[in-house]
Amino acid sequence: MNSNQESYSSDSLEPLLRIENLKKHFPIKGGGYFRKEKKAVMAVDDVSFTIYKGETLGLVGESGCGKSTLGRNILRLQEPTEGRVFFNNTNILLHNKHELRKLRKQMQIIYQDPFGSLNPRFTIGQIIGEMYEIHGIAKGAEKEKKVKEMLELVGLDPSRYNSYPHEFSGGQRQRVGIARALALNPTFVVADEPVSALDVSVQSQVINLLMKLKKELGLTLLFIAHGLNVVRHISDRVGVMYLGKLVELSETDNIFESPAHPYTAALLSTVPEADPRLKKERIVLKGEVPSPANPPSGCRFRTRCPLAAERCKNEMPPLVEVRSKHHVACHYPLEEGQTLKEAIASRKTGQLSL
Amino acid sequence: MEASTQTNVTSGVAVKAKKRKNTLLNRLRQNKVAYFSLWFLIVLHVVVFIGPFIWTANPEELQEVGALASWSLQHPFGTDDLGRDVFARMLHGGRVTLLVGLAAMLFSLLIGTFVGACAGFFGKVVESIFMRITEAMMAIPNFFFVLVALTVLGTSPIMVIVVIALSSWMEIARVVYGETLKWKEYEFVEAANASGAKSMRILTRYIIPQIIPSIIVSGTLTIAAAILTESAISYLGLGIQPPTPTWGNMLQNSQQYIWTAPVLGILPGAAITIAVLAYNFLGDGLRDALDPRFVKK
């Protein structure tokens, strides 16, 4: 399934980015003058993982699970509450403004919204050219030449150098956003749901462009999305988030063919199958996602988990390697090849025999 | 072949004409009063600023025809109580009044935009300090502030401009503050930050250009207020001092002759009223025309 396996082989791995115990809490304001008790939305809560050089790591989860916040915190577009982010073995959370500005050349972001992410008063030449001007790389005619090269690289007509963003379609604007992100030749790019605002027909074009550029430029990609099919298509490894926690992380095929976390299993059962004869049992989770301001004790998922037991209430499961290169944060992970239905059934018989 | 290029050219022209329809001027045109005000103000400024080069009578010199002379070819509006040419005084007075209005507006835009943009963009301490100062200034009765400041600081034209500006930047600061808060949340601003742009660059190249429409509207309304304030303080004798004419101090002079020579009061009074009205109408029209949700009727 991995279509870019040439650029990524799971054995010779060199970490590019190491995220340790990253937390981002948003304090909630309000209440009376005398309410001292401070509350916070725990958008990202104690997340640790590594991104290897040259890989595409997909990050999935329902909206509000903190995946975009995580991406922004890694780039320090928001300041994390706690934790460490190592980029090439230096903790970038300790960088001062000047060092951070230098680092920006190497880490970039592609946004979800092709409308809000481009300055409406700049031409696309100015938008992409800013990157060169900010870092004092090129000016005037040289800048124009470089920008036009970038436009060509992302499949836009260089003669539209002086056009404004509103003269482009959504997919074309997303290409402008990609050109901007790649203009300085970064090593690491966060793609924050880059295709979810586009038509399905345009989505595949943009995804294929991203994959092509990734291979050509040797990028490392953190691909945030909620469309599972898209993630499966592009990612080498996939991380699943639920309510601010990373609950499962493994190679794409492992995640999609034999998920270990009950949440991942339920999430995957919602993916529509192209073949109508292939009947699939959908697992509908009960209840709603709890508020991240007041998450359940122990395992975050226990309130909706069909396998939840007493232990899940008391103990927060850590992210551990249950199978080779397959990390799960669950006390009772599914076994390889086991479906969620089977797990529920075996759990019931187990309880009866007790 | 020939024919097809022909149609291409004409359709190209049609597209251009269509595009032109959505310019600011064309959107303003739909508000008849505002559009008329715009042209009226252009004519008024041309007359007042260029007129004195053509009508060369000295506004401070006594004329041979004597005081309170009626209208004639030499003196279209007659002469005032000291025998000075009223037409020349209207032109020169208008020059001073409108110039004070414009200069005060520019100065107050500068203060207001700086305070509002910095408060909104930097937040935290800067925001607290700047916005509390703004609110404190708003709590002081405007006219009272101007009178006290001019009494203390003197009444040179520069001082009049500065004091009027200092009394009128708060509204602009609040408008700019609100807009800055709105625009700084846009992703293109975050993208600029992600590119490594410095704060000042983000503020001046990404945020303030978005606010310019609001600043223009505030500016026109501020001119109107500044003209009124200047006229009022001149009328009270605290503004620009005679013999330099302004529409305000001409009004003050004329009140003794309101029955014998009513033209002396009516002319500057009407000029002030019409100029202020025109600026207000223009400001209102611009507000609508610059609104992105503006729909063509």
3 state SS for chain A: CCCCHHHCCCCCCCEEEEEEEEEEEEEECCCCCCCCCCEEEEEEEEEEEEEECCCEEEEECCCCCCHHHHHHHHCCCCCCCEEEEEECCEEHHHCCHHHHHHHCCCEEEECCCCCCCCCCCCCHHHHHHHHHHHCCCCCHHHHHHHHHHHHHHCCCCHHHHHCCHHHCCHHHHHHHHHHHHHCCCCCEEEEECCCCCCCHHHHHHHHHHHHHHHHHHCCEEEEECCCHHHHHHHCCEEEEEECCEEEEEEEHHHHHHCCCCHHHHHHHCCCCCCCCCCCCCCCCCCCCCCCCCCCCCCCCCCCCCCCCCHHHHHCCCCCEEEECCEEECCCCCCCCCCCHHHHHHHHHHHHHHC
The distance of B49 to chain A (nearest Cα, Å) reads 34
Residue B25 C-alpha from the chain's centroid: 18
B5, pLDDT greater than 50: no
Q: Which residues of B touch A131 (CB under 8 A)?
A: 195
pLDDT tens-digit map of A20-41: 888 888 887 665 555 555 678 8
A108 and B CB contact within 8 Å: yes
For the segment A88-95, the average pLDDT, to the nearest whole number, is: 87
Instruction: Mark out the alpha helices in B167-207 (DSSP H runs).
Output: 170-183, 187-194, 199-201
CB of A53 within 8 Å of a chain B CB? The answer is no
Nearest Cα of chain B lies from the Cα of A119 at a distance, in angstroms, of 6
Q: How confident is the model at residue B8 (pLDDT cuts 50, 70, 90)?
A: very low
> Out of A77, A107, A121, whose CB is closest to B190?
A77
Total structural domains within chain A: 1
Q: Are A59 and A70 in contact (CB under 8 A)?
A: yes
Q: Domain limits at A333?
A: 266-354
pLDDT band at A351 (very low <50, low <70, confident <90, very high): low
What are the residues facing A19 on neighbouring strands? A49, A85
B196 vs A134: CB contact, 8 Å cut-off? Answer: yes
Instruction: Decide which of B84 and A77 is more confident.
Output: A77
Provide the 10 A C-beta neighbour count for residue B170.
24
Band (B89; pLDDT cuts 50, 70, 90): confident
pLDDT value of residue A37: 58
Q: What is the pLDDT of residue A179?
A: 92
> Is the per-residue pLDDT at B254 higher than 50?
yes
Copy the structure tokens of residue B49: 């600023």
Closest-CA residue of B relative to A78 is: B190
The pLDDT assigned to B294 comes to: 53
Arithmetic mean of pLDDT, A172-196: 91
Contacts of A177 in chain B (CB under 8 A): 191
Which residue among A75, A113, A116 sits closest to B194, beta carbon to beta carbon? Answer: A75
Q: Which chain B residues are Cβ-neighbours of A101 within 8 angstroms?
A: 196, 198
Domain for residue A338, yes or no? yes
Residue A315 resides in a domain: yes
pLDDT of residue A2: 44
pLDDT of B18 over the 70 cut: no
The answer to whether residue A280 is domain-embedded is yes
**Which residues lie closer than 8 Å to A195 by C-beta, 6 or more apart?**
A174, A202, A203, A206, A207, A225, A227, A230
Q: What percent of chain B has pLDDT over 70?
A: 88
Q: What is the mean pLDDT of residues B228-237?
A: 87
Tell me: pLDDT of A64 over 50.
yes
Q: What is the pLDDT of residue B39?
A: 93
Distance from CA of B116 to the nearest CA of A (A): 21
Give the pLDDT confidence score for residue B48 in this predicted structure: 87
Instruction: Give the residue, B18 or B203, on which the prediction is more confident.
Output: B203
Topology (CATH) of B24-52+78-290: MetI-like fold (1.10.3720)
Question: How many C-beta neighbours within 10 Å does residue A99 have?
Answer: 11
If one compares A234 and B80, the residue with the highest pLDDT of the two is A234
Contact B188 A105 (CB under 8 A): no
Question: Is B175 a residue whose pLDDT tops 90?
Answer: yes
**Separation CA A146–CA A143 (nearest Å):** 5
pLDDT at A296 over 70: yes
- Asked if A111 and A170 count as a contact pair (C-beta separation under 8 A), the reply is no
Assign A7 a pLDDT band (cuts: 50, 70, 90).
Answer: very low
Residue B13: the pLDDT is 43
Q: Can you give the pTM of this predicted structure?
A: 0.80
Q: Which chain A residues touch B185 with a CB distance below 8 Å?
A: none
Whether A119 sits inside 8 A of B206 (CB atoms) is yes
Which residue numbers of B have CB closer than 8 Å to A's CBs? 186-188, 190-198, 201, 206, 209-210
Give the residue on B whose Cα is nearest the Cα of A184: B195
DSSP assigned state of B75: S
Contact: A101, B196; criterion CB under 8 Å: yes
The answer as to whether A149 is a domain residue is no
Cβ of residue A130 closer than 8 Å to a chain B Cβ: yes
Mean pLDDT value of segment A137-152: 89
pLDDT category of residue A65 using cuts at 50, 70 and 90: confident
Per-residue confidence (pLDDT) for residue A33, from 0 to 100: 59
pLDDT, mean of residues B88-96: 87
Kindly report the nearest CA distance between residue B28 and chain A, in angstroms.
Answer: 21
A vs B: CB pairs below 8 A: 49
Q: Is the pLDDT of residue A76 over 80?
A: yes
How much is the average pLDDT of A139-157?
A: 90
B273 has a pLDDT exceeding 60 = yes
Pick the range with the lowest mean pLDDT from A334-343, B148-157, B171-180.
A334-343
- For the question of an ipTM over 0.85, the answer is no
Q: What is the average pLDDT across A168-183?
A: 91
Using CB atoms, pick whichever of B187, B195, B201 lies closest to residue A113. B187
Facing residue for A104 by CB, picked from B187, B190, B195:
B195
Rounded to an integer, what distance in angstroms lies between the CA atom of residue A80 and that of residue B106?
A: 42
Subunit contact A118:B206, Cβ cutoff 8 A: no
pLDDT in tens, A190-219: 999 888 888 888 888 889 999 999 988 889
What is the spatial distance between Cα B170 and Cα B145, in angstroms, rounded to a whole number?
13
Give the whole-angstrom CA distance, residue A190 versus residue A220.
Answer: 9
A101 touches chain B (CB under 8 A): yes
At A103-132, the pLDDT tens digits run 888 999 999 888 888 988 888 999 999 999
Q: What is the mean pLDDT of residues A53-80?
A: 89
Residue A218 falls within a domain, yes or no?
A: no
Identify the CA nearest to A321 among candidates A337, A338, A309, A333: A333
Task: Look at A77 and B192 and tell me if their CB atoms are within 8 Å.
Answer: no
